[in-house]
Structures are given as C-alpha cells and as structure tokens.
Amino acid sequence: MPCSDHIRVHTTTLGGTASNVVVANVVHGLMSMTATYSWVPKPVPDEQAFEAIRSGVDALQPGVKMVLNSSQFYGMGWTTANLELLSRFFERYPDYADRTFLMVKGGFNVAKNRVDNSPENLRHSVHACITALRGTKKMDVFQPARIDKLCTIEETMKTLVELKNEGKFNHIGLSECAAATLRRAHAVHPITIVEIEVSVTSYEEEARKVLASAAELGVAVAAYSPLCHGLLCGAVTKREDLDPHDVRNLLSRFREGNLQNNLAIAGAIRSIAANRGYTPAQLCIAWVASLGEKVLPLPGSTRKERTLENLAAGQITLVEDEKSEIARAMETYPVHGGRYYDDAEADAVLWG
C-alpha cells in the first residue's frame, strides 16, 4: 500500500521494557477468529482472517506496529487454535512478524479447569504457546490471563522473569489484575501492558484505580470489550438476537430484565454517535482511548472492514462537549448487572 494511503492513526508507546515500541492506539483482538467457547459458532476462514489482520497493519504509517491480542486458549475446548492460525498467517506473510506486536495470554490449567500460575504450569503454558507458533513469531508479551489466588504475585513474577530471561518472550504483561497487584508486580519487574475490561458500561471503581496506577507507573493498558460484547454498537437489540448456544446468554447484562434496561445506554450512545457522524463502535472506542495516553482500546475484528473502522476510531479526539454528553448518558442510564455475574460485588472476585 502506498504511503499516501496510510491512515495517520494516533500512536503511543508501550510501558516497561517496551517503552520504545511505537504502536497504533487501537489493538486488534483476534479471539473471534477461532471458535472460542460459544462466542462464535465456527472458525473464520483463514483467507478472511488473514485479510482482516493485514488490512490493519498495511494501513499504518511506517514504523508503527499493530498490537495483536491472542491467547493459549482461544479455541473450542481451550485449544491453541488462535495461535495456530497466527502461525499460518506468519508462514504466508513472514514480513508481518516485525510489523506486529503480539500479546499472548496463558496460565490456565486445562486439566484442572482453573487459573494456575504455578511455576510448572506457567512453563507448560509458555511452551504450548511457542509450540503453536512454530517459530514464525516470538511472543512480544506473555501475560497470565488471571491472577492466581494460590500464588503470590511476587512468586508469579519470579517465574515470568526467569522465562523472559531465558528468551521465551520479550516482555511481561498482566491481565485482570487489581491496582495494588499491578504495583506489587511492577516493583519486581517493569510491566509492559495490563489488560482489563473498560467501556462506558464497564468503568467500575477498580478499573479506574488500575487506569490511574498504570498511568503513574507508565504502564500501557489494553482495554478489552469496549463495545460490551456487541451491546453498545447495536449488534444485540433483544434476547432473540442471541443464538441459544451463545455464551452471552449467561452474562448478567444480557439476561432478561437487565438487557431491556441496558438497551437504554446503548440507544443513547447510538444517538450521540449519529449526531457526531461516527458509528456507535467508533464513539465507544474513541471514548476508551480518551481515558489516557497509553490506554489502547481492544475491540475484536474478523473482517477487513471492521478492522479499518476500528482503526479510524483511533484518529478521533473527543472534545469536552462530547465527553460530557457521554458522561450524562452513563449517569442517566446506569448499567444493570455485573460484567459476568449478577452484580458488581460478585464480579469483584475477578480482580486479582
């Protein structure tokens, strides 16, 4: 693609040992490309997935990397299908390895069906990820997917530092951690990026604390589900829109009663976006990006058109009137239900 066709996206640098890495300020989430739990019924064809990835990378100005977000278990039955897809992509397009920054979550023990950040399981997890990538791309960041309450964060970090020093991956990240945990981890070794859920419907007190701590420490934040699993962009307008096997049927905010109430905030976002000439998804992504210099919205995309729409949102700088209008909508139409469970208190157990 000629330089004149590059999108002049907003860029930022990451944190910790990757503070010199310049990236687009919107992450490309890859989870939906492979049949993961019940989020998607079947894998996306390779050609479609490859086009979606390449379009985002090709749109960037020279020297800017696209952050790709994957996992050891983004495949039906907790398999490495997502990383295997990436290995096929990099085998076909090896030049893209240096133009992307790969985040990989792991640390889940499939046999025990639980988070397991013991030294043995972290080593097993990292090995599984490296095996799935088949030497096509080194993991830029490895991050435990959740904080293991059976291990101290200092013990977890000790293992991660050992693995990093052995050359298994380049940088250390965290996911779904509390602010205090981030500070303790960062004291052991600089954290490059932390992944948490942030959206106009997921802006809880602990999320705000993590954002503040990360900004103070110079740590980047990958803010996943900026569209509340499709609710905020109009993908779901009633319960009947969900396939009976869709995992969102189990999420508190999509349950009968809660969904009807939450459609009010979704409608308000659509109205604001329409008045401003944005798509609802772009408005939500831009709002998340406005929360900090190193806050990177992490929407998923399986199609070229969606990838480019998401990237274009990264060019939007919301003015104060727009932020105020969104804040009023959030106050007027408070979200009903927790991120996963029935209320916010139950969800608090997710913060490690």
**20: domain CATH number?**
3.20.20.100
Compute the average pLDDT of residues 215-241. Answer: 92
Which residues does the annotation mark as catalytic? 74
Higher pLDDT, 238 or 8: 238
CB atoms within 10 A of CB 212: 13
Token readout for 330 is: 């959030």
The answer to which of 25-34, 105-114, 154-163 has the lowest mean pLDDT is 105-114
Contacts of 48 (CB under 8 A, 6+ apart): 302, 303
Domains in the chain, number: 1
Range of the domain at 49: 3-228+284-317
The answer to which of 63-67, 221-225, 348-352 has the lowest mean pLDDT is 348-352
Whether 123 is covered by a domain: the verdict is: yes
Higher pLDDT, 41 or 322: 322
CA 326/CA 316 separation, integer angstroms: 15
Whether 198 is covered by a domain: the verdict is: yes
Whether 267 is covered by a domain: the verdict is: no
Burial class (CB in 10 A: 0-12, 13-18, 19+), 348: middle
Whether 305 is covered by a domain: the verdict is: yes
CA 232/CA 210 separation, integer angstroms: 23
Whether residue 4 is predicted with pLDDT greater than 90 in this model: the reply is no
Whether 217 is covered by a domain: the verdict is: yes
Whether 329 is covered by a domain: the verdict is: no
Whether residue 198 is predicted with pLDDT greater than 80 in this model: the reply is yes
Distances (CA, A) of 259 to 26, 284, 341: 27, 18, 13
Whether 323 is covered by a domain: the verdict is: no
Whether 278 is covered by a domain: the verdict is: no
4-14 burial code (b ≥16 CB/10 A, e <16): eeebebbebeb
Mean pLDDT of the chain: 92
CA 64/CA 25 separation, integer angstroms: 10
Q: The pTM is what? A: 0.94
Higher pLDDT, 341 or 85: 85
**Cα 267 to the chain's mean position, in Å?**
24
